[in-house]
Structure 1
Amino acid sequence: MATEVLMPRQGQSVESCIIIEWKVNEGDVVTEGQPLCEVETDKATFEVEATASGTVLGIFYPAESDVEVLKVIAAIGDEGEDISAMRPADESPAAAPAPAAPAAEEKAAPAPAPAAAPVAAAVSATGLASPRAKNLAAKKGVDISTIAGTGPNGRVIERDVAAAQVVTPAAQAKAAAEGLAIPEVGTGLGGRVTAADLTSVAPEAVAEAVASMDFPGAVNEVPVKGVRKVVAGRMLNSLQTTAQLTLNSSVDARSILGYRSKCKAAPEEAGVGGISINDVVLYATVKTLGEFPELNAHMLGDKIVEFGNVHLGFAVDTPRGLMVPVIRYANLMTLKQLSAETKRLAKACIDGTVDPDALSGGTFTVTNLGAMGIESFTPVLNAPEVGILGVCSVQQKPVAGKDGSVEFVPHMGLSLTFDHAAADGAPAARFIASLRNKLAAFELTLAG
């Protein structure tokens, strides 16, 4: 009897998955445990494996289909078995993916060169070329198939190659973008025109070149789906349903920089070499949230839920987009434990193996753009959370000494966005002040 392959449930919060691609075709023989397809939730990607050995008798949904969990997506069994009873009601035979294209299938013709940067005329119908023409083309680095021949029967001869103008792709792009003239001969190999050879052209020439180009030029349409779709929906909903206000400040960073240096210099057996500045900020944030339950909270319409434990979310930039894994019970962890859990969750997000349930349940979020040189920004709340902390880069800041002198001291920027409907400005400002104190004397914070 044929075996059903179900769309598995990945976490309690996942209701459907998108099939990214099938790795097999109908009629293929597979073994139990062999990957059949790759699917994507709104939070992670994973492979669906064969639940039995046999022949793939049916594939019920094509790539790009959004399929509810626990629905039958394929059937495996003995060749010739009847699987009509297994087919979902919303599936039709036409939905199955077509077999892979044969290797000999012709490739699409390349796109034409930009109009503003013309090169040689189209190749002759015969495609013939003399040996001398071929030798010269090889020396000049010219694609002889792009040269129109003037010899007998359209044959490309030596003089055709000698007269051919060769323009590098970079030069073509620059000429089109900036309206620059292309000289007959360049300084590159074999007279090749490079980007450095381009010069300005008259305004009328620019207008003529631009007028001949297709407007608006090349575009790339990116479907909004998966993580991008979820992030877009959440951010828009957050800004539409919350009263967001951002407070910007900075903290003397000498203590945390010094502590980070000590960790790096510590013996390997101490196990603290991997502790980062971000880990330090997360740890201090957790300690501060214990003093301000109004920010470690959710705003749920007619009620505010304040949490006794800190479940700290932190933003991770992944190839699939922004993810926010949650460090559960962060308030019960040491700095070393917090650092290890942060790295574990971040790696799972980047690899696409994170448990979807690890991406929900946060009570407060931290997002760090300091490594990108950002001095201040406005984080968007991860609703229904009441607060989110933005961590910025370390910059030298002039500080007046008691004797009137000025000293440049490294300072780290902090940007706190909070929901003004759930918390007032004064407690939010006190939160920032307390966090500054903990970071400015971080070793004392550890001692506490």
Structure 2
Amino acid sequence: MATPVIMPRQGQSVESCILTEWKVNVGDQVAEGDVLAVIETDKASFDLESTASGSVLALFWEADDDVPVLANVAAIGNEGEDVEEFRPEGQGGASAPVAEAPTPAAADSVAQSTSPVATTVPAAAPAGGSLVASSGVSPRARRLALKHGIDPESLPGSGPEGRVIERDIEAVISGRPRLSATARARSLAEDLERPARGTGLAGMVRSQDLKVPGSVEGAEISPVKGIRKVIAERMIESLQTTAQLTLQASFELTKAQAYRKERLDAGQSKVSLNDVIAHGIIKTLAEHPEMNAHFLGDRIATFEKVHLGVAVDTPRGLLVPVISNASDLSIEQVSAEVKKLAGACREGTISPDNLSGGSFTLTNLGMLGVETFTPVLNAPEVAILGVGGIVLKPKRTESGEVEHVDTLPLSLTIDHQAVDGAPAARFLQSLVERLENTPGA
């Protein structure tokens, strides 16, 4: 009996996964544990492994589909076994055919034997394995269409009762360029666009002349999918549903750098400037709880503890793992958690549960040479802090002389629906004072 393969639950907070890529085709032989597909949650990527050995009988979803967890995604078994009982409601997908479909020639024969005017007859089965209905195509029209790589079933007919006849095919041919045999096969199989004139002899369109629909001359076109699609949707949603205001400040690095050196001299673990800032945010939020909140339209949820999100750049895109209950941790523990979560993000092993539930986010572009920028809110959070690169600034000493010191720019974006400018400015002021005077405390 065939065995279904289900979409696994990737963490308690995940309700669906994006099936980004199939690694197998219907008919392939697989063993238990073989990779069938690549799946993604909101931002993490995983391999979907087979839970049985045998032949791939059906793939119930297409690439880029958003598949509910615990739904059947494929069926594995012996050739010829029925898989319809496992097919999710409303899903087609690809299946191994259970019966041979009639050929185009056979369909024409049926059409001629029933009536001078073809009504509805079975046509050749498409890739999905099920039969589709034809509106009627004359034998001469079908032969001419197949010769020129045209799908006659997709054309409106000018014959009796809408039947597609030879002149309908000729009209299409007259408005289309000549295609090489390879180009004709590719254009039908991959649904590619044909240019008005190709690079072949007398303008013949060759395989390399075909284009992806919507392509732009001189540009490579790639679909927006997976993590990039999720990020795009969340960024535009953030800007459309929040009133974002950004405040700028900077703090002098003298004592923060001295604190880091003292730790090393005392044999303590190394902490980065980002760790010092993260710890400073956590401590300062205890004094300004209105910044540690979610705006929910008609409600504001203020958190008792800080759940700090830290943006991480990965090959798959921007991920924001969350340090839960960060307010209970020491600076050493915060530093260790940041390293652990960032590593899991870059390796693709981060749990989806670690990518949600943040109450405040920290993002740092300073290491990439960016001095200041405007971070976008990770809604429904009401605030996010951006950190830029080190900038040398003049400072007037108590004696009146001017000296240059290293400073670090900070950019605080708030949701003005939930937080006013003055409270946000006070939070930023408190954070600067802490980082300048008692870093790590």
TM-score by length of 2: 0.69
Q: Would you say the 8 A contact 1:61–1:95 is kept in 2? A: no
Alignment partner, residue 246 of structure 1: 246
The count of corresponding residues between Structure 1 and Structure 2 is: 333
- For 2:3 and 2:48, the matched residues in 1 are separated by 14
Alignment partner, residue 397 of structure 1: 393
Alignment partner, residue 72 of structure 1: 72
Q: Would you say the 8 A contact 2:64–2:226 is kept in 1? A: no
| CA distance 1:436–1:83, change in 2 (3 Å) | same
- For 2:29 and 2:329, the matched residues in 1 are separated by 49
- For 1:382 and 1:216, the matched residues in 2 are separated by 33
| CA distance 1:294–1:36, change in 2 (3 Å) | same
- Superposed displacement of residue 366, structure 1: 0.8
- For 1:287 and 1:431, the matched residues in 2 are separated by 11
- Superposed displacement of residue 94, structure 1: 4.4
- For 2:88 and 2:305, the matched residues in 1 are separated by 45
Alignment partner, residue 51 of structure 1: 51
**Aligned with 1:411 (options 404, 407, 412):** 407
Q: Would you say the 8 A contact 2:306–2:360 is kept in 1? A: yes
- For 1:334 and 1:402, the matched residues in 2 are separated by 34
**Aligned with 2:418 (options 409, 412, 422):** 422
Aligned with 1:393: secondary structure?
coil
Aligned with 1:223: secondary structure?
coil
Question: What's the CA shift string for 1:283-332, capped at 9, x where partnerless?
Answer: 11100000001101111122221111000111111222211111100000
Alignment partner, residue 20 of structure 2: 20
Post-superposition, which runs of at least 4 consecutive aligned residues in structure 1 deviate over 6 A?
A: 95-98
Query: Percent identity between the aligned chains?
Result: 55
- Superposed displacement of residue 28, structure 1: 3.2
Moved more, 308-317 or 295-304: 295-304
Alignment partner, residue 379 of structure 1: 375
Moved more, 276-285 or 353-362: 353-362
Q: Residue 231 of structure 2 aligns to which amino acid in structure 1? A: V
- Superposed displacement of residue 17, structure 1: 2.3
Alignment partner, residue 259 of structure 1: 259
- Superposed displacement of residue 263, structure 1: 4.4
Question: What's the CA shift string for 1:17-48, capped at 9, x where partnerless?
Answer: 23233333333333322222211223111111
Q: Does 1:8 align with 2:4?
A: no
- For 1:329 and 1:235, the matched residues in 2 are separated by 26
Alignment partner, residue 194 of structure 2: none
- For 1:94 and 1:26, the matched residues in 2 are separated by 7
Q: Residue 343 of structure 1 aligns to which amino acid in structure 2? A: K
Question: What's the CA shift string for 1:160-188, capped at 9, x where partnerless?
Answer: xxxxxxxxxxxxxxxxxxxxxxxxxxxxx
Alignment partner, residue 317 of structure 1: 313
Alignment partner, residue 221 of structure 1: 221
Q: 5 Å matches for 1:77-156?
A: 77-92=77-92, 94=94
Aligned with 1:221: secondary structure?
coil
- For 2:327 and 2:218, the matched residues in 1 are separated by 51
- Superposed displacement of residue 420, structure 1: 2.0
| Structure 1 residues without counterparts, runs of 5 or longer | 99-104, 109-121, 123-214
Q: 5 Å matches for 1:266-305?
A: 267=267, 270=268, 272-273=269-270, 275-305=271-301
Q: Would you say the 8 A contact 1:62–1:95 is kept in 2? A: no
- For 1:92 and 1:240, the matched residues in 2 are separated by 35
Q: Would you say the 8 A contact 2:61–2:93 is kept in 1? A: no
Alignment partner, residue 438 of structure 1: 434
- Superposed displacement of residue 423, structure 1: 1.8
Q: Does 1:367 align with 2:368?
A: no
Moved more, 407-416 or 74-83: 74-83
- Superposed displacement of residue 383, structure 1: 1.4
| CA distance 1:61–1:425, change in 2 (3 Å) | closer
Alignment partner, residue 183 of structure 1: none
- For 1:435 and 1:93, the matched residues in 2 are separated by 55
Alignment partner, residue 144 of structure 1: none
- Superposed displacement of residue 84, structure 1: 3.0
Q: Residue 83 of structure 2 aligns to which amino acid in structure 1? A: I
Question: What's the CA shift string for 1:242-293, capped at 9, x where partnerless?
Answer: 22211111101112222333445564xx4x13x2111111011100000001
Question: What's the CA shift string for 1:38-90, capped at 9, x where partnerless?
Answer: 11223111111111233323222343333222221111223443323223343
- For 1:407 and 1:254, the matched residues in 2 are separated by 12
Q: Would you say the 8 A contact 1:39–1:45 is kept in 2? A: yes
Q: Would you say the 8 A contact 2:382–2:415 is kept in 1? A: yes
Aligned with 2:361: secondary structure?
strand
Aligned with 1:294: secondary structure?
helix
- For 2:93 and 2:433, the matched residues in 1 are separated by 66
Q: Residue 45 of structure 1 aligns to which amino acid in structure 2? A: S
Aligned with 2:289: secondary structure?
coil
Q: Does 1:307 align with 2:319?
A: no
- Superposed displacement of residue 445, structure 1: 4.5
Give the RMSD, CA atoms, in angstroms. Answer: 2.9
Alignment partner, residue 171 of structure 1: none
| CA distance 1:216–1:6, change in 2 (3 Å) | closer
Alignment partner, residue 344 of structure 1: 340
| Structure 2 residues without counterparts, runs of 5 or longer | 97-125, 128-181, 187-199, 201-214
- For 1:339 and 1:236, the matched residues in 2 are separated by 31
- For 2:27 and 2:35, the matched residues in 1 are separated by 15
Q: Would you say the 8 A contact 2:255–2:439 is kept in 1? A: no
- For 2:94 and 2:29, the matched residues in 1 are separated by 21
Q: Would you say the 8 A contact 1:20–1:38 is kept in 2? A: yes
